[in-house]
Chains A and B, each alone.
Chain A
Amino acid sequence: MEIRVNPTRMELNRLKKRLTMAQRGHKLLKDKRDELIRQFMILVRKNKDLREHIEKELTDAFAKFLLARAVMPVENLEEALMYPTKVLRLDIHRQNIMSVYTPRFDWVEEQSGGAEESSIYPYGFVDTSAELDTSIETLSKILPQLMELAEVEKSVQLMAEEIEKTRRRVNALEHVLIPRLEETVKYITMKLDESERGALTRLMKIKDVVRAKM
């Protein structure tokens, strides 16, 4: 379906300009989409690895935690963990991947106490189960990976959105705008040609009439 326009030469020029613009845009967007997808695939693969790894570790840590929970009264357990030794400070920066702003996390773990030994265990040894130690240790070890996963996963989400948007634009250009413009250009050219031919025949006709009269 063509666009309703006045079939004038000016309109034709305008449309032709739009068409080249659309074609250039289409090419650029297509490149952007391909690159986005490439980046996306890298991230997704990383995400998958990280996630599988973390899920395994977490299941393990939770299982151990459960056992620690089973042998300690709930009050003891919560008392043991109520005041953490570490404080996590998180800074979030923006990072530009193909004009998608993805988050980048910078974090510092700070010891809340100035104690010389950086112990991650905020509790004493009486009345706490050794099974708690191992689960705390695992949890504390996977925290950096967990942060990384959060970063990657959010990036993947944002990229996916962007890819979808870009793809929709590419499709719109490819299947709607460009064909329409082409059709309209064709329509106007035909119309102009037609009227040119009309004018020509009219001129010839007039010429005949004038010549006959002479």
Chain B
Amino acid sequence: MLIDDTIYGYAVARVKALETHLLEQGQFERMINASTGEEALKVLSESGYAAALAELDDIHNFETVLADELRYVFNLVMKISPLPELIGMLALRYDIHNLKVLFKARFLGITSDLLIPVGSVELAKLENAVTEDDFLLLPEKLRRAANQIIEDFMVNRDPQIVDLILDRVLYDQLIEEARERQAPFLEGLFVRQIDLTNLKTLIRVKQMGLSRDFLSRVLLPKGTLAVEKLAAMIEEPLESLISMLDISDYADLVGEGVREWSEKGSASLLEKLSDNYITAYLREGKWVPFGVEPLVGYLWAKEIEIKNIRIVLVGKINQLPAESIRERIRDVYV
């Protein structure tokens, strides 16, 4: 099926206009250099967040502003996109998040307010499905995952399993859908995310001192790095991981990030480099005149921007040194 690309004309143009409102590195720098959290917020309110921030009465509630912004941006991009299903794929992770929350809440016998109202399936539908134990309305993969969770949890009562199963189904579903809808750019994005997550998981599981068996169960399939190869790495020193990936695309990021991790015991650099890597990948699609790429890029840019704002504000409110805030700030997309 060949899609006429020109249907993207309006959406891309609109997103190009929106891109100019994204925060720039300089603005983050000013926020970092602000003396207090309130001052940093003031810098932020010179930007597109002004209206929402005006209503904020307590700086500690800044998360609501960020959540609202994210929801707004998602709905907007979904609306202007000629093929909303593609954007819906990016919202799938919020469905998965909501499912995790719903399942855990159900197993604990509580109601939770941690749901994120972004997502491709309606919240009420999800809530209903989980409480009524009726998953027929969910997409097939999610349905199977849900049943699996119920079964497993009854036996093991291990909350981690909820996350593990749903994470796996998330990327399974994403890759499959991307292939089905012939969106190689999106598939590339997901594959990279899988690889980066797997790398991180490998080191984390290694540091937790858990077994290779466990690792091969939690690694996500369908990445470019073979699961067995990665799993084998748990018995090797981190150095050999670096040399194994020496000729892959991840050489730089792993070299720098993993070294820092093993030397200073801090994962922050690797996590930041991973995000930067994705940003760099999406930036390649930024100038595609007709296509979904700029839309995806914009959404990611917004997510990164929100992440950066959170890092700065949390850091400022808690008076972290400017340096440790700065080293966690991700590259911006523009």
Q: Which of A's residues lie within 8 Å of B, judged by CB?
A: 66-67, 69-71, 73-76, 78-80, 82-85, 112-115, 117, 119, 121-127, 129-131, 133-134, 137
B72 in the interface, Cβ–Cβ < 8 Å? no
With beta carbons under 8 angstroms apart, the residue of B67, B104, B268 that contacts A79 is B104
A119 to B167, alpha carbons, bound, how many Å? 18
With beta carbons under 8 angstroms apart, the residue of B159, B220, B315, B328 that contacts A83 is B159
A133 to B261, alpha carbons, bound, how many Å? 13
Would you call B314 and A66 a contact (CB within 8 A)?
yes
Q: Which of B145-200 contact A (CB under 8 A)?
A: 155-164, 166-167, 170-171, 197, 200
Q: Which residues of A contact B139 (CB under 8 A)?
A: none
* CB-based nearest B residue for A126: B167
A71 to B273, alpha carbons, bound, how many Å? 13
Would you call A85 and B63 a contact (CB within 8 A)?
no
A125 to B101, alpha carbons, bound, how many Å? 15
Would you call A124 and B158 a contact (CB within 8 A)?
no
- Whether A125 contacts B105 in the complex (CB less than 8 A), given A70-B311, A79-B97, A117-B211, comes out as no
Q: Which residues of B contact A133 (CB under 8 A)?
A: 204, 207-208, 267
Would you call B328 and A124 a contact (CB within 8 A)?
no
**Interchain nearest-CB distance for B126 vs A (Å):** 14
A85 to B315, alpha carbons, bound, how many Å? 29
- Whether A74 contacts B63 in the complex (CB less than 8 A), given A112-B159, A117-B210, A119-B210, comes out as yes
Q: Which residues of A contact B156 (CB under 8 A)?
A: 113-115
Would you call A85 and B159 a contact (CB within 8 A)?
yes
Q: Which residues of B contact A134 (CB under 8 A)?
A: 265, 267
Q: Which residues of B contact A84 (CB under 8 A)?
A: 159
B108 in the interface, Cβ–Cβ < 8 Å? yes
Would you call B311 and A82 a contact (CB within 8 A)?
no
Q: Which of B236-284 contact A (CB under 8 A)?
A: 261, 265-268, 270-271
* CB-based nearest B residue for A74: B63
B114 in the interface, Cβ–Cβ < 8 Å? yes
Q: Which residues of B contact A71 (CB under 8 A)?
A: 268, 271, 307, 310-311, 328
A131 to B327, alpha carbons, bound, how many Å? 14
Would you call B112 and A121 a contact (CB within 8 A)?
no
Q: Which residues of A contact B324 (CB under 8 A)?
A: 67
Q: Which residues of B contact A76 (CB under 8 A)?
A: 97
* CB-based nearest A residue for B157: A113
**Interchain nearest-CB distance for B306 vs A (Å):** 8
Q: What are 10 A-to-B residue pairs whose CB atoms are below 8 Å?
A: A66-B318, A71-B271, A76-B97, A82-B112, A85-B160, A119-B210, A122-B163, A124-B162, A133-B204, A134-B267
With beta carbons under 8 angstroms apart, the residue of A85, A113, A124 that contacts B167 is A124
Q: Which residues of B contact A80 (CB under 8 A)?
A: 163
* CB-based nearest B residue for A118: B210
- Whether A127 contacts B97 in the complex (CB less than 8 A), given A84-B159, A85-B160, comes out as yes
A139 to B306, alpha carbons, bound, how many Å? 28
B326 in the interface, Cβ–Cβ < 8 Å? no
Would you call A70 and B315 a contact (CB within 8 A)?
yes
Q: Which residues of A contact B201 (CB under 8 A)?
A: 125
* 8 further A-B pairs in the complex, CB-CB below 8 A; given A121-B208, A124-B162, A125-B163: A67-B324, A70-B328, A82-B101, A83-B107, A84-B159, A122-B159, A133-B204, A134-B265
Q: Which residues of A contact B210 (CB under 8 A)?
A: 117, 119
* CB-based nearest B residue for A69: B314
Would you call B204 and A130 a contact (CB within 8 A)?
yes
**Interchain nearest-CB distance for B263 vs A (Å):** 15
Would you call A121 and B160 a contact (CB within 8 A)?
yes
With beta carbons under 8 angstroms apart, the residue of A83, A113, A127, A131 that contacts B268 is A131
- Whether A79 contacts B208 in the complex (CB less than 8 A), given A67-B324, A70-B328, A130-B271, comes out as no
A130 to B318, alpha carbons, bound, how many Å? 20
Interface centre among A74, A114, A126 (most CB of B within 10 A): A126
**Interchain nearest-CB distance for A128 vs B (Å):** 8
Q: Which residues of B contact A73 (CB under 8 A)?
A: 63, 66-67, 306-307, 310
B234 in the interface, Cβ–Cβ < 8 Å? no
B296 in the interface, Cβ–Cβ < 8 Å? no
Q: Which residues of A contact B170 (CB under 8 A)?
A: 126
B100 in the interface, Cβ–Cβ < 8 Å? yes
Instruction: Across the A-B interface, give the 6 residue pairs with the lowest CB-CB distance, nearest first.
Output: A113-B158, A124-B163, A130-B267, A83-B159, A70-B314, A126-B167
With beta carbons under 8 angstroms apart, the residue of B114, B155, B208, B306 that contacts A78 is B114
**Interchain nearest-CB distance for A199 vs B (Å):** 90
B92 in the interface, Cβ–Cβ < 8 Å? no
**Interchain nearest-CB distance for B256 vs A (Å):** 15
A114 to B315, alpha carbons, bound, how many Å? 38
